[in-house]
Amino acid sequence: MARYFDLHPVTPQARSVAQVVAMLREGALIAYPTDSGYALGCTMENHEGPDRIRRIRRLSSRHDFTLVCASFGQLGQLVRLGNSAFRAIKASTPGPYTFILPATGEVPRRLAHPKKKTVGVRIPDNAVCQALLSELGEPLLSSTLILPDHEDSPTDGWSIKEQLEHVLDAVVDAGEVIAQPTTVVDWSEDYPEIRRYGSGDTARFE
């Protein structure tokens, strides 16, 4: 049975944030809000978390996860950035973007693309998400919470609890969050390639 945390969307309660993070450190899989909808997340060291996410979403073993970061500095430890990518990504974050970049040695091999050695990273503009990341002190391994046979993620935590309370450890509710897919930019080469047009402005990547 998942624990339910009702957090203020702008000033999340520090005690609840600390409780959620303590659960994450003990191996929990949670649902939590981002600036593009609700997501599923666990720590990078959680070896069972990715398989649990795949089962919930009915994903293949080839599904690529995203590392959700608190800051540009944290992101820079996980991926290699050329000068042009550095400037453009720094100017665009935090925001509704996912960037695919070459992974550094800080990323466990099992989390990087097996052939390209790339990983997806992002920095959400969401107060609750940022509070969790700040308290945790490391990125969250994440995947957008889109259930099988659905096109969008749920917009509130309570409905997630009702649907998934038996397969999650915690649900972090921060009220209604509109599901707006991120813009996905592949910068694994020396130039940006837009893989998906989402809510983020693409002008600086075209």
What domains can be seen in the chain, in order of their start residue?
Answer: 3-198 (3.90.870.10)
Q: Could you give the C-alpha distances from 62 to 40, 114, 120, 170, 186, in angstroms and in order?
A: 17, 9, 14, 26, 17
Contact 79, 121 (CB under 8 A): yes
Pairing of strands 170-173, 30-34: parallel
Q: How confident is the model at residue 179 (pLDDT cuts 50, 70, 90)?
A: confident
Could you tell me which residues come within 8 angstroms of residue 87 by beta carbon, excluding any fewer than 6 positions away? Answer: none
pLDDT tens column, 29-67: 999 999 999 999 999 999 999 999 999 999 887 778 899
The pTM (predicted TM-score) of the whole model is 0.94
pLDDT tens column, 96-145: 999 999 999 999 888 888 888 999 999 999 999 999 999 999 999 999 99
Contact 177, 37 (CB under 8 A): yes
Q: Could you give the C-alpha distances from 21 to 15, 16, 42, 128, 169, in angstroms and in order?
A: 10, 9, 10, 12, 12
Residue with tokens 């992101």: 75
Residue with tokens 């080839």: 62
Q: Is residue 64 packed enough to be buried (19+ CB in 10 Å), middle (13-18) or exposed (0-12)?
A: middle
Residue with tokens 């997340």: 41
The amino acid at 83: N
Which of 2-16, 149-163, 178-192 tops mean pLDDT? 2-16
The amino acid at 174: A
